[in-house]
Amino acid sequence: MMVVVGVWIAGAAGAVSRYLISGWVHQFVRVDFPSGTLAVNLAGSLGLGLIAGSDPFESTLVVLAVGFLGGFTTFSTLMIETIRLGLNSPLTLLNLTATVVGGLALAAVGYTLTS
């Protein structure tokens, strides 16, 4: 039960962190590209890779992984922002490729570092 409540609270913390960090990144980068969402999804993939490589069943790490990183990273915003780039735009493919390939690579790096 403690883990469940911990996951809920960590999910809220993850969402707020995503909101603030993606906003900062987007303001800092200053291009019309969803750089904020890309940044949080890449960072979250690295973080979950690190946890998956260590001990993913330890309860603190479950709260961090399922709650915080689950709420920190997002798939729905990735989809809607990709569509809003315009399906004919080269940026669409760039956004998807950078997110998926980068996320996979960083998950692998994280996993390898801790396993």
Partner 1 sequence: MPTTGSLSRYLAKVRHRTRGLSSVAAVAAGGLLGSAARVAIGEWIPTSETGFPAAVVSVNLAGSFFIGFFLARRERSVGRRLSLQFWAIGVLGSFTTFSTFSVDLFQMLSAGRPLTALGYLAVSICGGLGLALGGQRIGAAIR
- Binding site residues, partner 1, CB under 8 A: 4, 7-16, 18-20, 22-23, 26-27, 32-37, 41, 44-45, 47-49, 52, 65-67, 69-86, 96, 99-100, 103-104, 106-108, 111
Give the whole-angstrom CA distance, residue 53 versus residue 84: 35
Q: Smallest distance from the beta carbon of 58 to partner 1, in angstroms?
A: 16
Helix (H, G, I), strand (E, B) or coil at 23: helix
Token duo for residue 40: 């949080």
Closer residue to partner 1 (CB): 27 or 60: 27
Distances (CA, A) of 78 to 69, 81, 96: 15, 5, 8
Closer residue to partner 1 (CB): 60 or 80: 80
Q: Smallest distance from the beta carbon of 2 to partner 1, in angstroms?
A: 14
Q: Which of 19, 12, 39 is nearest to 47 (CA)?
A: 39
